[in-house]
Amino acid sequence: MSAQPVVEMRGIGKSFNGVRALGDCRFELLPGEVHALMGENGAGKSTMMKLLAGIYPMDAGEILLAGQPVQLGSPRAAQQQGIAIIHQELNLMNHLSAAQNIFIGREPRSGFGLLVDEAALNRQAAQIFERMNLALDPRTPVGRLTVAKQQMVEIAKALSFESRVLIMDEPTAALNTTETAELFRIIRQLKAQGVGIVYISHKMDELQQIADRVTVMRDGQTIGTVPAAGTPMDTIITMMVGRRLADAPAAPPDTSRNPVVLQVQGLRRGKAVRDVSFTLRRGEILGFAGLMGAGRTEVARAVFGADAIEAGEIRVRGEPVKIRSPKDAVAHGIGYLSEDRKQFGLATGLDVETNVALASMRRFTGAGGLLDEAALRRAAQGYVARLSIKTPSVHQQVRLLSGGNQQKIVIAKWLLRDCDILFFDEPTRGIDIGAKSEIYKLLDELAAQGKAIVMISSELPEVLRMSHRILVMCEGRVTGELPAREATQEKIMQLATQR
**Where on the chain is the footprint of another protein (CB under 8 A)?**
55, 74-76, 79, 87, 91-96, 100-101, 104-105, 107, 109, 111, 114-116, 118, 137, 139, 157
The distance of closest approach from Cβ of residue 90 to another protein in the complex, given in angstroms and rounded to an integer, is 8
- Residue nearer to another protein on the CB measure, 116 or 350: 116
Task: Judge contact between 200 and 37, C-beta under 8 A.
Answer: yes
The distance of closest approach from Cβ of residue 182 to another protein in the complex, given in angstroms and rounded to an integer, is 20
Contacts of 321 (CB under 8 A, 6+ apart): 314, 315, 328, 332
DSSP H or E segment with residue 471: strand 469-474
How far apart are the C-alpha atoms of 297 and 457, rounded to whole Å? 10
Q: Look at residues 346, 58, 285, 41 and name the one whose alpha carbon lies nearest to residue 169.
A: 41
The distance of closest approach from Cβ of residue 85 to another protein in the complex, given in angstroms and rounded to an integer, is 8
The distance of closest approach from Cβ of residue 425 to another protein in the complex, given in angstroms and rounded to an integer, is 22
Contacts of 281 (CB under 8 A, 6+ apart): 255, 256, 258, 259, 260, 261, 452
Contacts of 206 (CB under 8 A, 6+ apart): 172, 180
- Residue nearer to another protein on the CB measure, 149 or 317: 149
How many other C-beta atoms can be found within 10 angstroms of the C-beta atom of residue 395? 13
- Residue nearer to another protein on the CB measure, 150 or 263: 150
- Residue nearer to another protein on the CB measure, 150 or 338: 150
HEC states along 351-410? EHHHHHHCCCHHHHECHHHCECHHHHHHHHHHHHHHCCCCCCCCCCEHHHCCHHHHHHHH
- Residue nearer to another protein on the CB measure, 110 or 209: 110
- Residue nearer to another protein on the CB measure, 76 or 188: 76
- Residue nearer to another protein on the CB measure, 46 or 355: 46
The distance of closest approach from Cβ of residue 75 to another protein in the complex, given in angstroms and rounded to an integer, is 5
- Residue nearer to another protein on the CB measure, 157 or 281: 157
The distance of closest approach from Cβ of residue 165 to another protein in the complex, given in angstroms and rounded to an integer, is 16
How far apart are the C-alpha atoms of 162 and 174, rounded to whole Å? 26
The distance of closest approach from Cβ of residue 301 to another protein in the complex, given in angstroms and rounded to an integer, is 16
- Residue nearer to another protein on the CB measure, 161 or 344: 161
Task: Judge contact between 278 and 461, C-beta under 8 A.
Answer: no
The distance of closest approach from Cβ of residue 150 to another protein in the complex, given in angstroms and rounded to an integer, is 11
SS3 208: helix
The distance of closest approach from Cβ of residue 89 to another protein in the complex, given in angstroms and rounded to an integer, is 9
Q: Where are the alpha helices (DSSP H) in 96-232?
A: 98-102, 118-131, 147-160, 177-192, 204-210
- Residue nearer to another protein on the CB measure, 79 or 297: 79
Contacts of 366 (CB under 8 A, 6+ apart): 372
Which residues does residue 288 pair with via DSSP β-bridges, in sequence order? 456, 471
Task: Judge contact between 218 and 40, C-beta under 8 A.
Answer: yes
The distance of closest approach from Cβ of residue 433 to another protein in the complex, given in angstroms and rounded to an integer, is 28
- Residue nearer to another protein on the CB measure, 83 or 422: 83
- Residue nearer to another protein on the CB measure, 71 or 91: 91
**Contacts of 185-191 spanning 24+ positions with Cβ under 8 A:** 185/133, 186/132, 186/134, 186/152, 186/155, 187/34, 189/132, 189/133, 190/155, 190/159, 190/166, 191/32, 191/33, 191/34
SS3 187: helix
How far apart are the C-alpha atoms of 357 and 361, rounded to whole Å? 6
The distance of closest approach from Cβ of residue 126 to another protein in the complex, given in angstroms and rounded to an integer, is 12
How far apart are the C-alpha atoms of 179 and 181, rounded to whole Å? 5
The distance of closest approach from Cβ of residue 200 to another protein in the complex, given in angstroms and rounded to an integer, is 17
462: left (phi over 0), alpha (psi -120 to 50) or beta: alpha
